[in-house]
Structures are given as C-alpha cells and as structure tokens.
Amino acid sequence: MTQSRNIFLIGPMGAGKTTIGRLLAKALGVSFVDSDKEIEQRTGVSIPMIFEYEGEAGFRKRETEVLGDLTLKESIVLATGGGAVLAEENRAYLRQRGFVVYLQCAVDKQLERTHKDSNRPLLKTENPRARLEELLRIRAPIYRALSNFTIDTGIYSSRSAVRQILRAYNRVQKSTSGHDEIHATSR
C-alpha cells in the first residue's frame, strides 16, 4: 500500500460495505463512492440489467474500468462489489492505491441482510444460501490475502466497526513500513 488517504472496502454482499463506508467517509471528512452505483450511473442501467444483457463477464469488464478510475482518486472511501477482487487487475489497483479493509460476514448474516434485495443478480437462484456459501468459499481467501485489516461485521455494530477501522488505518498511516495486517474478528 502506498501512503494514501483512500480506504477500500471489500467483502461479500451484505457485509455492510455501503453502510460502514458512508460512516467512515463522514468520520474522515472525505467522499464516499460505491463502485456498483458508479457503474449504474455511467451506464444508465441497473446491475441486474447489465447481467441480463452482457452476462457476468460484461459486468466484470465494466467493473474493472470503473475501479481503475475510482482508485486513482485521492481521499475517498470506496465500497467495492463482492466479486471485484476476482480480477488480478482490480486486486493490483486496490493493493497499490489504498488501505484495504475486508468486511467479513457469515452467510446467515448475509442472508438476513440481502433476502429482500432484488438488486442482487447472483442470488436469483433456487438456493441463495448455497450460492452465498460457494461465493464465500472462492472469494474469502482472496479477501484475506488482499486486506490490510479484517473485521467481522456480524460481531461488531457498524459504528464500532468504523472506530476499529479508523484505529487500524491511523496506525498504518503513522507507521514507517506502510503495511500492517490487523484482524479484528472477535470482541
């Protein structure tokens, strides 16, 4: 991680990236950006519509373009889509341009938070639980390897998570090495 005022939030859908991202940005006095919302704004259509017409591959291509642009900004908190970490190019952008926080979340909590959300094309399946478990099995090792800090949002409230993230972020900003790995997964 280079010395940057950017914080990039990664993790599965329903982990709280948008909620925590907004609170973090407010606490830091910086802008908050949601990469999925940015994709929708640039294309003029919803994520489910992109999936319907271009498939996941088309969406991922757009996501990489948007992340390339957004991670170049200074002083932002960025909430990424759950699958943004799948592309090596995206991982490089995140790793090199900011402080990466993995918002860890159990599948039960994800289901609780996303079951009424119709804007989740990957959950349009007969068995959303099995789909979330499969996505987590594939993505969790990537999230862990990429992150500078991990926090379990099923254990901590959003405000408590923000306080912990800020403490870790401030420590890293003050450190001479520029890279610490800190994990807060229990009280």
pLDDT tens per residue, range 147-174 = 999 999 999 999 999 999 999 999 988 8
Residues 88 and 47: their CA atoms lie apart, in Å, by 21
> Residue 34, class by beta-carbon neighbours within 10 Å (0-12 exposed, 13-18 middle, 19+ buried)?
buried
116 versus 72: the higher-pLDDT residue is 72
- pLDDT at res. 128: 81
Residue 36 forms part of a structural domain? yes
- pLDDT at res. 173: 85
pLDDT tens per residue, range 4-43 = 789 999 999 889 999 999 999 999 999 999 999 999 999 9
User: Apex CA 83: angle with CA 146 and CA 51, to 5°?
Assistant: 165
**Helical packing angle, 88-97 and 47-70, nearest 10°:** 40
Residues 171 and 134: their CA atoms lie apart, in Å, by 34
Residues 6 or more apart in contact with residue 173 via CB below 8 angstroms: 3, 99
- Report which of 145, 139, 109, 102 is spatially closest to residue 10, judged by C-alpha positions: 102
Number of domains in the chain: 1
Question: What length is written for the chain?
Answer: 187
CATH number for the domain including 147? 3.40.50.300
State which residues form the domain around 38.
Answer: 7-184
At residue 35, the 3 state secondary structure works out as helix
Residue 94 forms part of a structural domain? yes
Residue 1 forms part of a structural domain? no
pLDDT tens per residue, range 126-151 = 778 888 899 999 999 999 999 999 99
Residue 115 forms part of a structural domain? yes
Residue 2 forms part of a structural domain? no
pTM: 0.87
Residues 6 or more apart in contact with residue 178 via CB below 8 angstroms: 1, 2, 3, 172
Residue 139 forms part of a structural domain? yes
